[in-house]
Structure formats: structure tokens, C-alpha cells
Amino acid sequence: MATAKKSTIRWPAWARKTHKWLALIIGVQALFWMLSGLYMTAVHIDIIHGDALVRPAPVLPIDPASLRDPAEILARYAAASTIKLDSQLGQPVFVVGEGKKRVLVDARSGAQMSPLDQAAAQDRARAHFAGPGKIVRTELLSVIPSEIKGRPAPIWRVEFAGRWRPTLYISPQTGELVAKRHDLWRMFDFVWMFHIMDYEARVDVNNLLLRVAAWMAVATSLTGAWLLLYSFRRKRRVRKPAQG
Amino acid sequence: MFLIRTLHKWFGLILGLQFLLWSISGAMMAMLDAKKVAAEDSERAPPALSQPLSPIRLASLAQSLDAPILRARLRPLGEHYVYEVETPLDLRLFDAATGAPVTIDAPRAQALAQAGYAGSGAVASVEKVEKVSGEVRGVTLPVWRVAFADPDHTTLFVDPRTGAIHHRVNDTTRTWNLFWMIHIMDYPNGAGFNHPLIVTVATGCVWLALSGFILLVRSFRRQDFAYVLDPIDKLRGR
């Protein structure tokens, strides 16, 4: 290798050297960042959220005269602090909130409906699902899967036939649609893991690995910019010991 | 390999700046604590209310509505219980005990913000935000903006339809918003991160990273690792 005179530093060689060593360490992750970023920007977030998987909620006027008195519901559920009136399968229902607990009540008869059985969960899932597919699998999960982390257990998981394995999660306590998932969402979650480098829980955007790697990426792009200064010449550089 | 080097160089020249901006903004967001960005330290749990003694029946509210009820919710708001009633036309609040309409005006928005605020600052200003800005992205407008006089300039946004605290920001959030805007190339504010410009540049940068990766194979020689490999060879007795 050509050696420089003692008093001069060969800046282009230094730029190349630092750039290539930094790239050796960060190169794979840089590629992951770009590919995951491309996926997340190219597939629209509304598609990821599965907006097209479900039908819009039907506009169903409720006749308030036919409903039970909320005072009666409050008297029955002493810890209740909220009551939500909604329609499910065309029938008015109350979702009663006792702290974090939820109870589903028929708003006309006052009868408690929760926890919902498999058939009731499937009926609700079918009413929401916008695709043509039939239900292929229904199970009551007592452990919350990572794709709906943070939601209360137990939960009905209803999977439909169709592209990207569409799956609706129905709460047995409220009868409500809790989450909708398909493979495009699952892919997004997977590449998000690579993007934020939290290879365990996929949530921590402040982890040390990410911080170190991100600053190394800054250094790699800066040394790359530095290297660009020497990379565009009218004539190709002649390999010679550096001149002063 | 010469072709790849040339391509890497030219892609670097054209897209390098965005690559640098992505790495700097990404690194800065990684440095800003997510809890601080969400202004979680300013959150105060609402006071626990005892059950409303005798909420009126929804039927008695129906007369004051111009449209049929689709959904309704009986819930605490501040120190009282309210009915939040959804019709095809709008969302309205009523006092659950009297049935009187409840509007979230400036004093009410201020009181609700104060009840949900755990910091030490006094209210500095209350205003109605009608236009999209970095602080109110993806929010149904208008929204009440209640600013507090604390070192972090904590600001709470109150939904005028429901009285709920929609979100909260502080100076860390604002810094984060700036880097996020750079990261998603959201220069015409509010376009989100699914626009043609970012997809095009990201595609180019995939090639920038991939070509760089290929070049790595050719850029290293045995002598680059001599300080590791030589002792190993020696141990093997070569």
C-alpha cells in the first residue's frame, strides 16, 4: 500500500476507511431500515388498519321509550360508573362499565347477555365482516396474543377465509369488535420491529441498541457525504503517493 | 463492481441528503423519551364519582333532539354525570340529572383541562384552534387548546363535542413533532407518511443501502482483519 509522507494525512483514504468500517457494522441494519420504511410508506395505513375488512356501522335509530331505566341498571351493578347504549345485531344493548370490568345487558329486557358464547361471537363477527369469506376458525383465547397486546382477556378470535387471513376479535364481555387483523398488518408489525430494533416486545422506541445504531447511521451518512467530495472528478485519480 | 460503485456514488449524491435527514431525525426521536413525548407526566386521573342517584331516562331527552338516537353514553364529566348522545346529525351532551344541554365553552374546557393536569403551572391561555398545525394532526377541528405556564409549556387539547382531553403536548412533543415531520417528509403538512415522494425516495435508498452492502464484500481484504486472523493462523501453526 502506498504510504503517505509523514506530515500529510490522506483525507480521501480516511474518508473511505471510516465509511467502510462503519458500513460493515451498520450495513445490514441500514438495509432493514430502508426495506421496512419502504413497506410502511408504500402500503397505505388505512389498508394496514384493515378499514376495508369491516362494514361501516349501520345507522339504526333506537326508540328510547322501549329501553330499561338506566337507574335500574345502576342499582343492579353497584360499581357501575358508565353505561353505553349501542346497537348489536339490530338490537339495543347496554355496555355497563364497572372500573375495568364490562357487562353486556339487553337494553329492552334488562337481561345480562355476557359472557357471550361462541355462536353469539360468530354472529357479531359475521355482521362486521365485509368480505365474502366464511368463518374458518373460532376460539376463545385466555392469553392475549401479541398482535392485540394490551386488550383484556378472554377474547373471541374469529378467523375468516380470504386473502391475508382476516381475523376479527370480539369481546365476550361487551360483544364489541375489539380489533381487526390481517397479514398486511402482521407484516407491518414485523417490519416495525426491524425499524425500531426492539426485537422482543416491538414497542420500546428508546432502546439502547436503536440509539447506538441510529447515531452510527448518522456517522455513516456523514462519512459518505465526506467521501462524495472526493468521488466526483473530471479525470480519474491517478494512484500516487499523496501530493502536498 | 465498477458499475455498482458508480451507482452507489450517484445515488448517494442525489439521495444522500435525505438518508442523512432520516438517520438524524430517527436518532433524535430515539433519544426523546416516549413517555415525555406523550406528556404522560402531566396526566391526572379524574376524581372518582359516586353513582348518579337518579339519571333521567333517555326518552325525556329525545324531545329536545331533532334526530333519532343512534348511540348514547352515560358517563362522568368533570364533577357531574352527563349523557353523550349521538344522532345522525351530531354529538351532544346533556346533564344526566337535569337533562339540561351541556356545552363545552372556554371556561368549561379550561376547568376540564385543569382537572386532568398534574403539573404546577397556572392556565396561561385558552383558545379555539380551527386550523391544522403540527400540534393538532389528525384531530377533528375545532378543538380547545389550553396552555399551562410550566417549564415544559404543557398544553392540553379538549374536544368541544365530548369534553374529553384529546391529547397533550409539551416542548419535548414539539421537538419530536419536528423530527417526525422531517422523518416522514411531511412538508405539505398533514399528508401523512403514504405519499409518492417518500415511496420514491425510499425505493432509491433501498438501492443505496443494497449497493453499499454489495460493495462491502469487495471493500475488505484479508489484511483489514490481519490483527485478528494472523494470531489465529499462528495458533494453528501455519
Predicted confidence pLDDT, tens digits, chain B (238 residues): 788 888 898 888 899 899 999 999 999 999 999 999 999 999 998 777 777 768 888 888 888 888 899 999 999 998 889 999 999 988 999 999 999 999 999 999 999 999 999 988 999 999 999 988 878 877 888 999 999 999 999 999 999 999 999 999 999 999 999 999 999 998 766 678 899 999 999 999 999 999 998 998 888 888 888 888 888 888 887 6
- In the DSSP assignment, the letter for residue B134 is S
Cell 372556554 belongs to residue: B106
ipTM above 0.90, yes or no: no
Assess if residue A19 is contained within a domain.
no
What string of H, E and C letters represents the secondary structure of chain A? CCCCCCCCCCHHHHHHHHHHHHHHHHHHHHHHHHHHHHHHHHCCHHHHCCHHHECCCCCCCECHHHCCCHHHHHHHCCCCCEEEEEEECCEEEEEEEECCEEEEEECCCCCECCCCCHHHHHHHHHHHECCCCCEEEEEEECCCCHHHCCCCCCEEEEEECCCCCCEEEECCCCCCEEEEECHHHHHHHHHHHHHHCCCCCCCCCCCHHHHHHHHHHHHHHHHHHHHHHHHCCCCCCCCCCCCC
Region A171-192: what's the mean pLDDT?
A: 96
B117/B55 same-domain check: yes
| Per-residue pLDDT, B217 | 84
Asked if B194 lies within 8 A of A41 by C-beta distance, the reply is: yes
Is A151 among the domain residues? yes
Domain count, chain A: 2
User: Total domain count for chain B?
Assistant: 2
Q: Is B51 on the interface with A (CB under 8 A)?
A: yes
Report the chain A residue with the minimal C-alpha distance to residue B206: A34
Cβ contact (<8 Å) for A83 and B73? yes
Q: Are B81 and B94 in contact (CB under 8 A)?
A: no
Query: Which has more pLDDT, A43 or B63?
Result: A43
Nearest-Cα distance to chain A for B124, in Å, is: 32
Q: Is residue B174 part of a domain?
A: no
Q: What is the mean pLDDT of residues A191-216?
A: 93
- A147 and A61 both lie in a single domain: yes
Q: Under an 8 A CB cutoff, do B202 and A225 touch? A: no
Same domain for A187 and A112?
no
Q: What is the least distance, in Å, from the CA of B110 to any CA of chain A?
A: 23
Asked if residue A141 and residue A72 are part of one domain, the reply reads yes
A172 and A116 in a common domain: yes
Which chain A residues are Cβ-neighbours of B86 within 8 angstroms?
Answer: none
Q: B142 with B124, same domain?
A: yes
CB contact under 8 A, B73 and A82: yes
Do you find a cis peptide bond into A115, omega within 30 degrees of 0?
A: yes
B107 with B199, same domain: the answer is no
Look at residue A232 in the predicted model and tell me its pLDDT: 81
- The mean pLDDT value of chain A amounts to 90
Q: What is the pLDDT of residues B37-87, one digit of tens each?
A: 999 999 998 777 777 768 888 888 888 888 899 999 999 998 889 999 999
Same domain, B55 and B144: yes
Residue A140 lies in a domain: yes
**Are residues A219 and A129 part of one domain?**
no
**Domain-ending residue, one of B111, B139, B169:** B169
CB atoms within 10 A of CB B138: 8
pLDDT at A4: 47
Residues A187 and A204 in one domain: yes
* Predicted local confidence at residue A1, as pLDDT: 44
B199 CB near a chain A CB, below 8 Å? yes
Domain assignment present for residue A2? The answer is no
* Residue B58 maps to a domain: yes
Question: Which residues span the domain enclosing B114?
Answer: 42-169
Range of the domain at A46: 26-50+182-226
Sheet of strand A135-141: strand arrangement: A135-141, A155-160, A167-170, A177-181
Answer yes or no: is B129 within a domain.
yes
Residues of A in contact with B54 (CB under 8 A): 71
Q: What whole-number percentage of chain A has pLDDT above 90?
A: 75
Residues B6 and B66 in one domain: no
Q: Could you tell me if B118 and B157 lie in one domain? A: yes
* Domain identity same for B67 and B138: yes
Q: Is residue A244 part of a domain?
A: no
Q: Are A158 and A209 found together in one domain?
A: no
3-state SS, one letter per residue, for B45-63: CCCCCCCCCCCCCHHHHHC
